[in-house]
Structure 1
């Protein structure tokens, strides 16, 4: 089994208004194709941990390794390049550009990466939309899509550069029950059939219970995994 992400002794402090130890000795690994959820009460540190795992927050102690590369201590420009190539993001709110078509939104991270021609990027984007069964909406502006369709377009965008890991921050938090189930089924299928590694922070117990493995956090510590 290939280890995709590994943390070692991650500690994080907030310094304002007083010094506060928000993450304590976080150690875990995730393997290729695993669907991992992180749960815990509000304020337990799970979103803070996700920001560190996604390389957005670099003010921590300990080490983070993704896809065999140690990322701790790298300059911001190298981290930004690494993020675009190796990490896909799915948030509670889809953060699509409303005036752009679905396919253009999906193409954006690949255009930034600059690895493929525009025609190849368009073909890849269409394939990702087809995979998520929203290809018929490819040319529609995203503000004309339903909430569930918008989240599927956001997942297609997260997949465009074939990332090592997809990170989700409450990916079903803004959806009704039936659309939440659709998004969960999509993520499960990506993990099972395409060996896509997924890490998602969630408050949804059904979502967490049906993932491959759950890390439970309390007071900045992993209490169960």
Structure 2
């Protein structure tokens, strides 16, 4: 079952002059697939991820996620869609330092309001337990190590049971040990929970162990 379809996605940058950064990209991603987007800096992979994540709407072509056509929807509709259907894990964890680990994980679910606050707290504990950081739940997020913070960021990405987790260099800020930990977490999420993951990475070893590598060069998918 396909969870994401992009058809003829084309994008231009206009500063300092017109430049085509994505060239008629076709991409389909199946449910439960762990896909790595790779290529040299400037090849367009992060730009493609931002289009696929609906955060960048200035493109030509078609985008469909979870059976919904997203091209042409307004920012308000897309914001709601992202919160319900897409989880994000970035190179930097972007946890709010003044909040506890538990509160950070709960934020997207409180915003979605699909469950009661009590149920959301229970679900947040579930995700933290799954990622082995439940003992840290009541600590301020800035008191955790980098590896722990990234695990909390993954728990936050999972809280609304998204159709896709999108990672932009999710291990780019981690040492080799924590890179392996994050990879193993992603691998288990796809194998055991059929979670779909699309990750932009420069880490060849990380990419090689994922289910599929999509390589980009000069704004096109080359393999």
TM-score range, shorter chain: over 0.9
Whole-angstrom CA distance in 1 between matches of 2:143 and 2:16: 43
Does residue 168 of structure 1 match 2:161? no
The Cα of 1:15 is off from its aligned counterpart by 1.0
Quote the residue 2:179 is aligned against.
180
Q: Deviations over 1:14-55 (max 9, x none)?
A: 011111000001001000000000000000000000000010
Secondary structure, counterpart of 2:96 in structure 1: coil
Whole-angstrom CA distance in 2 between matches of 1:143 and 1:75: 35
Quote the residue 1:108 is aligned against.
107
Q: Deviations over 1:162-187 (max 9, x none)?
A: 00000000000000000000000000
- Runs of 4+ residues deviating >4 angstroms: none
Q: Which runs of 5+ in 2 are unaligned?
A: none
Q: Which runs of 5+ in 1 are unaligned?
A: none
Quote the residue 1:193 is aligned against.
192
Q: TM-score, normalised by structure 1?
A: 0.99
Quote the residue 1:130 is aligned against.
129
Quote the residue 1:61 is aligned against.
60
Does residue 10 of structure 1 match 2:4? no
Secondary structure, counterpart of 1:43 in structure 2: coil
**Residue-pair matches, total:** 223
Quote the residue 1:42 is aligned against.
41
Whole-angstrom CA distance in 1 between matches of 2:169 and 2:15: 26
Q: Deviations over 1:41-98 (max 9, x none)?
A: 0000000000000100000000000000000000110000000000000000000001
Quote the residue 1:27 is aligned against.
26
Whole-angstrom CA distance in 1 between matches of 2:27 and 2:185: 25
CA RMSD between the two structures: 0.4
Secondary structure, counterpart of 2:64 in structure 1: strand
Whole-angstrom CA distance in 2 between matches of 1:193 and 1:148: 22
